[in-house]
Structure 1
């Protein structure tokens, strides 16, 4: 891959609030898809497939949840 993708923006999982953590989780989930399928056109073609498949949408939600759990732990659950 010639264009490096920064998979952890700012090189930190630390966020000020749980809301920022959730937003970061979504961003990280999107970045891993981009790293896995770097071709914009192919990702665009696939969008119509998963947008209409409940199981794929649930899987996307699970990916975000896993990322959020990792971020929450890194932030000591914002205590």
Structure 2
């Protein structure tokens, strides 16, 4: 497997959130490596509110992890 995640450290919360989204997307890609299968399934969840809420929960969990790794972007002085 190719290394795509060299660090959880980001400069800003915005970058941290973008990393959280990437983590979520990579989880799906690794779990279902067949791009055609992912495309076939997309219409099923794209219009499903429960599925979209679930995605938000997964991103939030990843964002909490990234935020913790970054000390919540606060100075420790």
Q: Which runs of 4+ in 1 moved over 6 A?
A: none
With over 3 angstroms needed to count, the CA separation of the structure-2 counterparts of 1:36 and 1:66, relative to structure 1, is same
1:1-79 aligned at under 5 Å gives the runs 4-6=1-3, 9=5, 11-79=6-74
Give 3-state SS (helix, strand or coil) of 1:12's partner.
coil
Work out the CA distance in 1 between the residues paired with 2:14 and 2:39: 28
Work out the CA distance in 2 between the residues paired with 1:49 and 1:61: 17
CA RMSD of aligned residues (A): 1.0
Unaligned 5+ segments in structure 1 are none
Q: Report the alpha carbon displacement of residue 44 of structure 1 after superposing the two structures with TM.
A: 0.2
Which one has a bigger Cα radius of gyration? 2
Could you state the TM-score of these two structures normalised by the residue count of structure 1? 0.89
Q: Report the alpha carbon displacement of residue 12 of structure 1 after superposing the two structures with TM.
A: 0.6
Unaligned 5+ segments in structure 2 are none
